Amino acid sequence: MTKPQLSTSPDTATRLALNCADHPAAREAVPAAQFTSAMSALASSVSVVTAGVGGERQGRTVTALLSLSAEPPAILVSITRDSALAAMIEEAQAFSVSVLAADQQSVADAFAGFGPAERFSAEQWEAWPSGQPRLDGAVATLDCRLSGAIEMDTHVLYAGIVLHTQTHPDRAPLLWHRRHYAVLDSDGV
């Protein structure tokens, strides 16, 4: 089994590599379709993770977002390893997250590849002081500095220290459940 590789430098994020595919239990794992069916039972908020360098921006719709720590404030996002977004996060050493509101399904579709080719023109985009993209009107937006990465087979888990936030607590979140969008009812349940 490959040992995890840890790299640390004051100028870069901590990096750890794990390979689940080489673990002996991987041979006994359920088929991918069975796993994804079980995971579709989770109701998750829908977010867009973005990163930018200069005038170039990349982004992707995700449901894999985790509050990692309150002190320091940190989150974790899962991004496909060979994606343009992963490369942009690495180059920027930063990323932002927009937790989508119930009326932002078109944004989710665009960043999932089902919308217009120019994803950033679909809604009002601004920039954080860091230069990272910020979606206006999202339930919450977070500006993050990359602090670490865990390489996991086909994906990279990026940890970010949250530098800035903006919230709209009056807006209902967009959810993903059983492979469909969902929203909270008027009572919030």
- For every residue of 25-73, DSSP letters joined together read GGGGPPPHHHHHHHHTTS-EE-EEEEEEETTEEEEEEES-EEEEEETTE
Interior angle at CA 56, CA 54 and CA 59, nearest 5 = 125
CA distance 163 to 129: 10
CA distance 111 to 49: 9
Average pLDDT over all residues of the chain: 87
Backbone φ and ψ of 131, nearest 5°: 95, -10
CATH class of domain segment(s) 8-21+43-177? mainly beta
Whether pLDDT at 6 is above 70: no
Select the more confidently predicted residue: 63 or 118. Answer: 63
Q: Which residues pair with 127 in a beta bridge?
A: 133
Q: What pLDDT is stored for residue 11 in this prediction?
A: 58
Tell how far CA 147 is from the center of its chain: 15
Q: What is the DSSP letter of 115?
A: S
Q: Which residues pair with 165 in a beta bridge?
A: 142
Closest C-alpha to 5, from 145, 152, 147: 152
The predicted model scores a pTM of: 0.86
CA distance 141 to 156: 21
Task: Please give the structure tokens belonging to residue 48.
Answer: 């867009």
pLDDT in tens, 127-185: 999 999 999 999 999 999 999 999 988 999 999 999 999 999 999 999 999 889 999 87
Mean pLDDT (whole number) for 114-136: 83
Q: What pLDDT is stored for residue 120 in this prediction?
A: 84
